[in-house]
């Protein structure tokens, strides 16, 4: 290993190099923490870059992983606390502007009751979900005893995957990063399509239910007159 990272870093990584050169582990911890509690900062990108630096001997991979895991757990936990203490008030005040009605919030609570642990575990691998899953979990009332193990497992998996990719890539980080970025776009699109399909399915079921209930309601009304 050399003590010099690859010269042909992808632009997103290269733009963070001065920050990492100056502040090292604290920069990793701060950006990962903010990225996991709802602030749109390049936490995942700085994690990959720090792992590349570790592969080049500039940082310790154990130090990078430890800082990133702790920061990710703490950030998601803060998001949960924000959602638990103020999420409902924000939704009551502003939810109607983003079509988040009390009925939809209630369905979200039921969904998190059944599947919240799985969502929190895998959410970090999808942009937007990574920043908001803790807030949503807290807002929907997911119990802390279920949230914390999923939070810890999700942080370990997310940091493990991206730190390993950056550490092992070496001079191939450019092509690998582009492939991983493409994978994330595909994954985000798949989540969007799945969400749209679920909404369409529920709307279809509601429409069919109304059509089935309509004649019965009118028939009962006619027989009572």
Residue 185 lies in a domain: no
| Structural domain range at position 54 | 11-175
Residue 204 lies in a domain: no
Residue 212 lies in a domain: no
Count how many domains the chain has: 1
- Give the closest residue to 124 by CA, choosing from 155, 147, 81: 155
3-state secondary structure of 133: helix
Residue 220 lies in a domain: no
Give residue 188's pLDDT.
53
Residue 30 lies in a domain: yes
pLDDT per residue as tens, the chain (225 positions):
445 555 566 767 778 889 999 999 999 999 999 999 888 899 998 999 999 899 888 899 999 999 999 999 999 999 899 888 877 676 666 555 545 556 656 666 666 777 788 889 988 888 888 888 888 888 888 899 999 999 999 999 999 999 998 888 766 666 666 666 665 555 555 555 554 554 555 556 666 666 776 655 444 444 444
Residue 161 lies in a domain: yes
Residue 99 lies in a domain: yes
pTM beyond 0.75: no
**Torsion of the alpha carbons at 33, 36, 42 and 43, rounded to the nearest 10:** 50
Give residue 140's pLDDT.
83
Residue 62 lies in a domain: yes
């Amino acid at each position: 290993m050399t003590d010099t990272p690859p010269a042909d870093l992808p632009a997103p990584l290269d733009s963070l190099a001065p920050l990492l050169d100056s502040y090292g582990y604290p920069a990793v911890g701060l950006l990962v923490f903010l990225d996991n509690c709802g602030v749109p900062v390049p936490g995942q990108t700085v994690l990959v870059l720090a792992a590349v630096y570790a592969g080049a001997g500039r940082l310790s991979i154990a130090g990078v992983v430890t800082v990133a895991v702790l920061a990710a757990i703490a950030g998601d936990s803060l998001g949960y606390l924000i959602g638990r203490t103020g999420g409902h008030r924000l939704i009551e005040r502003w939810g109607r502007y983003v079509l988040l009605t009390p009925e939809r919030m209630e369905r979200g609570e039921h969904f998190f009751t059944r599947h919240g642990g799985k969502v929190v575990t895998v959410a970090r691998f999808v942009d937007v979900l990574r920043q908001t899953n803790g807030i949503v979990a807290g807002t929907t009332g997911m119990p802390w005893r279920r949230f914390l193990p999923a939070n810890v497992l999700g942080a370990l998996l997310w940091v493990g995957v991206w730190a390993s990719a950056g550490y092992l890539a070496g001079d191939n980080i450019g092509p690998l990063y582009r492939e991983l970025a493409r994978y994330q776009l595909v994954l985000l699109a798949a989540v969007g399509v799945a969400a749209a399909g679920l909404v369409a399915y529920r709307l279809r079921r509601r429409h069919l239910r109304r059509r089935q209930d309509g004649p019965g309601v009118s028939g009962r009304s006619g027989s009572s007159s």
